[in-house]
Amino acid sequence: MSYANPPQGRNISPHKLINKELIGEGSFGKVYKATWLAMDADGDEVEEIVAIKVMKNATRAQVLQERNRMTGLYHENVVRLRGMVQKDPCPWLVMEYVENGDLHTNILEWRQDGDTLLRISWHIAKGMKYLHTKGIIHGDLAARNVLLGENDVAKIGDLGYYDAQNSSDYYNYYGGGMPCPIRWMSPENLPYWSSERGLIEQSVKKSYEGDVWAFGVVLFELWSRGELPFAGYSNTEVCSFVLSKKKPTHFFKVHMRQHMRGLMHSCWQFDPNKRPKFYRIVQHFERIVGFEPEEDDSDEDEGSDSASCYSSSSETDYY
């Protein structure tokens, strides 16, 4: 029985989490599946299957920051927070359990048709539109951080900390700083910038426009059936490629509908101001593909902009 719409961010007793089962482990932490003995609105005990994130090397402040970011988020395409377990030295986060696992693992294992890929892409765009209207920059959007629920409903997760199972996709800059997902990062947010002397280190940034770039990479992951962006090249080489306006499609051809190819490349505009906002991307799926608009669909959700969902000819590389 599911515990519908519990208060988010609440403290949960560890004794109320039973039947814990390890379902994921990596250099950033562990993820467990468990049964939460919760209380419904009438005070009756009910059971809900949840996921528990136990972060390694994270500070209490970082966990609290993620808890605060997720509290109050209610959208069908965003993983919901259930609560937090006070543990030393680092609290656990208790999340909605999404039964079919992460998108990247799924696309490696199945061969869905183009219509299913379109619908999953639409779900991700809707979830990202919602996060941006709430003032939240994801900063690590990738297929590995999207989960698939019943009927392949996509839900965006990992809003504040990096995925526990895919540390090989990250690059530690400054010899041990915060890991960053180089292959999904926009040129202006990379830990390097290009000069006549080569690559120069700079501070890593996150931005709304960077999330849009990463969405384009997720489209590449979907239609390439899980290909690693810039596979076979080092992270430093990837930085050089991106700064010289090379895209993942320079190295791996993907077969997709023309309107989706145009959308993907519009997300990869080198100038961040020319990338579409997510409300325009959602409109692309509604107007071009024919998906039903959301009730709160509005051109003003993320502010007005003139960026198109089709890339300009000067930056298009149709491979």
> Residues at the annotated binding site?
53
Helices (H), 142-226: 208-223
Say how many CA atoms lie within 13 Å of 298 toward its Cβ: 7
For residue 26, give the 3-state DSSP assignment. strand
Integer Cα distance of 306 and 308 in angstroms: 6
Tell me which of 102, 140, 163, 211 is the catalytic residue: 140
- Residue numbers in the known binding site for ATP are 53
Token representation of residue 6: 């519990």
115 belongs to the catalytic site: no
**Is 156 in contact with 145 (CB distance < 8 Å)?**
yes
For residue 144, give the 3-state DSSP assignment. helix
* Phi-psi group of 232: left, alpha or beta (phi > 0 → left; psi -120 to 50 → alpha; rest → beta): left
> How far, rounded to the nearest angstrom, does the alpha carbon of residue 162 sit from its chain's CA centroid?
10
**Is 212 in contact with 280 (CB distance < 8 Å)?**
no
Active site residues: 140
